[in-house]
Structure 1
Amino acid sequence: MDHRLERVLFVHAHPDDETLSTGAAIAAVAADGGDAVVVTCTLGERGEVRPERQTDVDEVGVGEVRRAELDQALRALGARGRRVHGFVDSGMQWLADGTAGAAPDSPETAMAKADVDDLADALGVIVEEVDPTAIVTYDADGGYGHPDHVAVHRASVLVARRYDLPLYVRTRARADVAFPLEPVRERVLAALAAHRSQLEVRGDEVLHVGGQTQRLAEVEHYRLIEPRPARPARWTLRIGAGLAGAVVGVIGTFSHQQLPWGLALSLLAAVGLIGGIRAATGSRALTIGAVLGLVGVVALVAIDPLGRGAFGTERALVPANLAGWLWTLVPTLVSLVALAWPDAASMRRIRMAADGGTTTGREGDRP
């Protein structure tokens, strides 16, 4: 598979997840000339640490130690990092069924307690900045049930749907895409070695800080769960919106001088079409199509750029009277408002900012 034109966003909850779960894929994308961007949602602040790193932890804290390790791991993999701010590690406890759960004393800002829409909004800011061609994250169970991993999966699904992006999840069985470890083994081993507060590589196995062992996967398998909608279908919708706008523009141009109902119905149709598309779909692209169709027709007739009169009749279709000016200006003003109106994700970010909440931040290429 040629990854030279790919820009892939790998979304993870904690430092070291990126290498343990998707290290071969990240390294392969980077090695083939693609752009691998790793998003980390917390610094694993509540994680255990190996004894040899305890002195560093005592000086700067667990989060800062793991941040530095993540920087080193990303350099080894050839990736760059981004960080979602406003959420912290939930901690972990093993449940009776063998899966992982949040620590009983996890704080209110823990990912396990986060609203999935807020997490998706924060991730969406990074998606808009990076403009990826695909997203990769955990499967629905987070790999082993960790609630932070599950939260990241759910938020990634929402973001993939909002931005029409394909979403791949790591799976144990053969699926749609496979990345063998061998071509990038040295990169992955170097990245694992960077996370020395959390693990130790022993041959073909990883020894975790909690005593668990994990065998290195010789092949990483990924399943496509959110395919990108076909581009021709999207363009068809945009063209359809443009044609609908043109139809309303033509009918309104011929009928707006019939007072009062012709003008009222023409304006109602124009406002309803533009505002309705923006409100119902939230899509600026579809709204732009309708605006170009409707306002374009009115502008060509009313402004008369060729200077020959509308259909050679000296502005007979849109005369310079009150009805003509209303038909010329009202659809234009409604179009500007509809295009400028924030979408649902933006409104949530505005409310969070007004409440003093934290969304996301950017620290150069640091995670």
Structure 2
Amino acid sequence: MSAPTDPWALLDAASTVVAVHAHPDDESLSTGALLAALTAAGTRVVLVTATRGEEGEIVPGALGADESRPLEEIREAEIDRAVAALGLTERHWLGIAPALAPGAAPRRYRDSGMQWVREGLAGPSDTAGPESFSLQPLEGEVADLHALLEAVRPDVVLGYDDEGTYGHPDHVRAHHVAVGAAERAGIPLLQVASGTPDDPRTRWREHPGTAEAVQRAVDSYRTQLTVRGRRADGIAIRHVGGQDDLVALRTGLHMPPGAP
């Protein structure tokens, strides 16, 4: 019997899913409604995040004048609150066991930051160094994620498509890491769509009943965004840079190119 070509058929049949994300807040902004729906349905969801978002800007006034913690510690606390709101109970950092290649010393992947190289093409920031996620050796990152997949043995890996949602270099790298590790482990990879709503590869699904969980999750990231209110189709937010956006309560998924 051939494998299903509808990504939702694979996901509906999965009892365990590993979700691969680049920074704290990506899990809520890109897949919050989906993850909340999965956990509410009893699916085991294991989140792995590559970086701690050290290069993120901070919303003015989000931190008190006496705040002395480095940004990465603050964002660790934010992601803990967010995943609790979504119903997740298992999360890991890439490079820290169990998301660490056998025999390797623990390693920390740093946020690469982002700048626009030209219209439509993003690259690492000028301050990105060799420890940045997008600039470290791909093979080691794939080996780390593969170790987690071997430990968890999910039915499905959930990752970005080749556009990496909006082209952030860490998102694009997370896509390549997920592709390599899933292929090595022999586990199907489902990709969260970045493209237009009418992309023929994409199958869409609404996630009713997830608005409250998603709003609480995104509101956990007060250093990064401001919640503007709830709409019928999602949570209105304003990013730290002033851009208005909508955290949708639906998800588009597609199979990777060449999947059966």
TM-score (norm 2): 0.81
Instruction: Report how far residue 176 of structure 1 moved.
Output: 5.4
Aligned equivalent of 2:124: 102
Which residue, 149, 154, 162 being the options, matches 2:176?
154
The structure whose RCO (Cα within 8 Å, separation 6+) is larger is 2
Aligned equivalent of 1:44: 53
Aligned equivalent of 1:186: 212
Is the helix fraction higher in 1 or 2? 1
Using a 3 Å threshold, how does the CA distance of structure 1 residues 57 and 189 change in structure 2: closer, same or farther? farther
Using a 3 Å threshold, how does the CA distance of structure 1 residues 33 and 64 change in structure 2: closer, same or farther? same
Contact 2:16 2:156 in 1 (8 A): yes
Aligned equivalent of 1:140: 162
Instruction: Report how far residue 115 of structure 1 moved.
Output: 1.4
Which residue, 108, 116, 119 being the options, matches 2:141?
119
SS at match of 2:157: strand
Distance 2:14 2:176 in 1: 27
Structure 1: segments with no counterpart, 5+ residues: 230-367
Using a 3 Å threshold, how does the CA distance of structure 1 residues 123 and 84 change in structure 2: closer, same or farther? same
Instruction: Report how far residue 96 of structure 1 moved.
Output: 2.7
Structure having the higher Rg: 1
Distance 2:238 2:14 in 1: 36
Instruction: Report how far residue 218 of structure 1 moved.
Output: 3.8
Match for 1:185: what amino acid?
A: A
Contact 1:92 1:103 in 2 (8 A): yes
Aligned equivalent of 2:250: 219
Q: Which runs of 4+ in 1 moved over 6 A?
A: 226-229
Cα deviations by residue, 1:100-126 (Å, 9 ceiling, x for unpaired):
321012121001211111110111111
Contact 1:88 1:109 in 2 (8 A): yes
Match for 2:25: what amino acid?
A: D
Distance 1:93 1:207 in 2: 19
Aligned equivalent of 1:90: 112
The count of corresponding residues between Structure 1 and Structure 2 is 229
Aligned pairs for 1:342-361 within 5 A: none
Instruction: Report how far residue 225 of structure 1 moved.
Output: 1.1
SS at match of 1:143: helix
Using a 3 Å threshold, how does the CA distance of structure 1 residues 207 and 181 change in structure 2: closer, same or farther? farther
Is the strand fraction higher in 1 or 2? 2
Aligned equivalent of 2:71: 62
SS at match of 2:226: strand
Contact 2:33 2:249 in 1 (8 A): no
Instruction: Report how far residue 199 of structure 1 moved.
Output: 0.8
Aligned equivalent of 1:361: none
User: Quick check: 67-76 or 106-115, which moved more?
Assistant: 106-115
Distance 1:94 1:57 in 2: 34
Cα deviations by residue, 1:178-231 (Å, 9 ceiling, x for unpaired):
3423321111111011111111121242110111121232421010117888xx
Distance 1:227 1:34 in 2: 27
Match for 1:74: what amino acid?
A: V
Distance 2:66 2:109 in 1: 20
TM-score (norm 1): 0.58
What's the RMSD between the two structures over aligned residues?
A: 2.2
Cα deviations by residue, 1:26-68 (Å, 9 ceiling, x for unpaired):
1111010011111101100111111233338941111000000
Distance 1:78 1:56 in 2: 32
Structure 2: segments with no counterpart, 5+ residues: 1-8, 96-107, 230-234
SS at match of 1:168: strand
Contact 1:164 1:228 in 2 (8 A): no
